[in-house]
Amino acid sequence: GDSVTQMEGPVTLSEEAFLTINCTYTATGYPSLFWYVQYPGEGLQLLLKATKADDKGSNKGFEATYRKETTSFHLEKGSVQVSDSAVYFCALSLLDSGYSTLTFGKGTMLLVSP
């Protein structure tokens, strides 16, 4: 079946450090790929998405590129802030009969210290 694998956390960084969170996927079709972020005590928010190979999703300084050849969608940010501390979920979506369901990775906690 479809699945998403992302690096285990927590990832602990100092402010202004470079961030990479790895994500790879297995899918039978041609999925859309997402990163969602969950701040403490809140629901998930869409951070960025990409719908086809070589697309780059970006938002709030975060970027991820859809790499079909390596089935990956790694999240990067050049300079993290304390306010980026959250849990990050990689997910894929396959349209099936006109609607989609999301398959999530297990999440990676990011802790940024001043």
Partner 1 sequence: NAGVTQTPKFRVLKTGQSMTLLCAQDMNHEYMYWYRQDPGMGLRLIHYSVGEGTTAKGEVPDGYNVSRLKKQNFLLGLESAAPSQTSVYFCASSPPARTASTDTQYFGPGTRLTVL
Residue 106 makes contact with partner 1 by CB under 8 A: yes
Residue 105 makes contact with partner 1 by CB under 8 A: yes
Radius of gyration of the chain (CA): 14
Question: How far is 12 from 54, CA to CA, in rounded Å?
Answer: 29
**Residue in 25, 62, 88, 89 binding partner 1, rule: CB under 8 A:** 89
Question: How far is 71 from 60, CA to CA, in rounded Å?
Answer: 24
Whether 33 and 91 have beta carbons less than 8 Å apart is answered as yes
Residue 81 makes contact with partner 1 by CB under 8 A: no
C-beta of 26: minimal distance to partner 1 in Å? 15
Residue 107 makes contact with partner 1 by CB under 8 A: yes
Stretch that binds partner 1, among 11-19, 46-54, 55-63, 70-78 (CB under 8 A): 46-54
Residue 46 makes contact with partner 1 by CB under 8 A: yes
Cβ neighbours of residue 79 closer than 8 Å, sequence gap 6 or more:
16, 17, 18, 61
